[in-house]
Amino acid sequence: MATPEALDGIHKNPAVRVTLPSGDTVWLVTGYDAVKRLLSDPRVRKDRKNPEDARLSRDNDMLQDPRASLDPPRHPVIRRLIVKAFTPARVKQLRQPTEELVEELLDNTESSGSPADLHETLNFPLTIRTLSTLLGVPPEDHIKFGTWVDKFFSITPGNPEEIAIARGELWTYIEHLVDARRKNPRDDLISALIQARDEDDSRLTEYELAWWSQGVLLGGYETTANHLGAGIITLLTNPDQLNLLRADPSMTSQAVEELLRIQMVFSSLASLRYANEEIEIDGVVIPKGAGVIPAMESANRDGKFFPDPEKFDIRRDGSHRHLAFGSGPHHCIGAALARMELQTAIGALLRRFPTLQLAVNPADLRRSEGSFMEGFRQVPVKW
């Protein structure tokens, strides 16, 4: 977390020193131009190669794994393979099933009665069941999967043994899933990755196959669910924008982009990188070997690119330029899927519940703590 002095300096300097949950210090880079440049800068790496490199957490290495590279030359090869399997056609095929799933979940929400927690009745069931279809994960596994993910993304001091057990169970689950799809291929992403790996053994090792399958699962579950929850809350606490969208549902896609811009829920801590050489950011010199975080949250509220950046406005021009999905070689592979889920769920929710409102005072809403996910703990609504 940033020190008070750093928070004050964030609005005055392009790069400031901040302290991570581990106690290590790194550079936080702010401003749209600087952040976007850094996200594509070949002088920085994502792999933590040296023992002295800054760590996010002392109890949890998360996605830091020396056997699965996130840097060139290996990462671009693997990414091209995953993108090839994660085709727009596969996402397009999911739209109708997603629409049907949303209607089913909203039917259940309505029948259970008001009030309801949309995290329980819509957001998380939607994302895990959509992923189940895409990746071939049995939907009955979503409860234990959610528990594993919560532990996986923990960044506050806690019980290292619990984290290790959860990560081990998740890894074992993925290995079994890959093995099952190898024996019984289906029309899903993991089967496509297996096929690509088996066609050219040099392209993807067995370990990389399991690791990247796990990464897709992790990236597409909690992130989209929390974006959806935060988006719903943002709309319900901005009645003027809510009324605009209700009056013109064709603005749903545009509204989703503005929601992504103003309400990021996946912390930029996940974008921790390391300088391979000295880097100058608008007059500030970041030394070689230093940790550096491109703050997408700050970039998305840069007044030079987004006039009146703190204002939520679904009519905003250029909201597509936001960095909620990152940029450059690590741009989110699942961005198209996430957009489709958000557009489908928000459009159907507002159509089905014309009197929807928060069931609590907005001041009583609480965000998750101790995780990359900074979404709300609950989305309590009534109608």
Give yes or no for residue 250 having a pLDDT over 90: yes
Neighbours of 354 (CB within 10 A): 8
The whole-angstrom separation of Cα 210 and Cα 187 is 18
For residue 110, give every residue at least 6 positions away whose Cβ sits within 8 Å of its Cβ, in sequence order, or none: 352, 353
- Which pLDDT score is estimated for 3? 43
Contact 17, 39 (CB under 8 A): no
- DSSP 8-class letter at 15: E
Task: Specify the pairing of strand 291-294 against strand 25-29.
Answer: parallel
The strand pairing partners of 367, in sequence order, are 376
- Which pLDDT score is estimated for 197? 65
The strand pairing partners of 26, in sequence order, are 18
Rg (CA), the chain: 21
Question: Which of 18-27, 165-174, 224-233, 269-278 has the largest mean confidence?
Answer: 224-233
pLDDT tens digits, one per residue of 22-37: 899 999 999 999 999 9
Token pair for 169: 């169970």
Band of pLDDT at residue 340, cut at 50, 70 and 90: very high
Task: Specify the amino acid at residue 24.
Answer: D
Average pLDDT over residues 117-134: 90
- DSSP 8-class letter at 333: T
- Which pLDDT score is estimated for 353? 98
Q: Is 229 or 190 the better-scoring residue by pLDDT?
A: 229
Neighbours of 260 (CB within 10 A): 24
Give yes or no for residue 334 having a pLDDT over 50: yes
- Which pLDDT score is estimated for 82? 82
Between helix 189-199 and helix 124-135 the angle, nearest 10°, is 30
Give yes or no for residue 181 having a pLDDT over 80: yes
pLDDT tens digits, one per residue of 186-222: 888 888 888 876 565 556 788 888 888 888 877 788 8
- Which pLDDT score is estimated for 370? 60
Band of pLDDT at residue 326, cut at 50, 70 and 90: very high
Contact 135, 190 (CB under 8 A): yes
Average pLDDT over residues 128-150: 77
Q: Is 271 or 5 the better-scoring residue by pLDDT?
A: 271
Nearest to 302 by CA among 332, 282, 288: 282
Q: Which H or E run contains 27?
A: strand 25-29
Task: Specify the amino acid at residue 154.
Answer: S
pLDDT tens digits, one per residue of 34-93: 999 999 999 999 988 888 888 877 765 665 677 788 889 888 888 888 887 677 787 888
Edge-to-edge strand ranges of the sheet holding 380-382: 116-117, 380-382, 357-358
Output the average pLDDT for the chain. 86
